Amino acid sequence: MVKVVDFYADWCPPCKMMAPLIEELEKELVGKVEFEKVNIDENQSRAAQNNVMSIPTYLVMENSKEKNRLVGATSKDEFLKFIFK
């Protein structure tokens, strides 16, 4: 199964803007895509391991390998294209 890892912080305005979209997609894509949220303030080592320099950063993982990366806020249509590229 494809996994989307969402690197975010509670103080980040673009992260807050994307949160409702991510929640909506989590519900719509149940059984197709797994979502994982990683708060970079609480998990700095994980952010560093994945070379996350800006937030929000989204990684599409397949078989534990990074398949695609998106940095910044975007539309629902663009986010879906990013996931299934």
Catalytic-labelled residue, pool 4, 15, 18, 47: 15
Beta strands in the chain, from DSSP E residues, in sequence order: 2-8, 33-39, 57-62, 65-71
Does 85 participate in catalysis according to the annotation?
Answer: no
Does 12 participate in catalysis according to the annotation?
Answer: yes
Catalytic-labelled residue, pool 12, 18, 47, 59: 12
| Residues 7, 55 contacting (CB under 8 angstroms) | yes
Q: Which residues are catalytic?
A: 12, 15
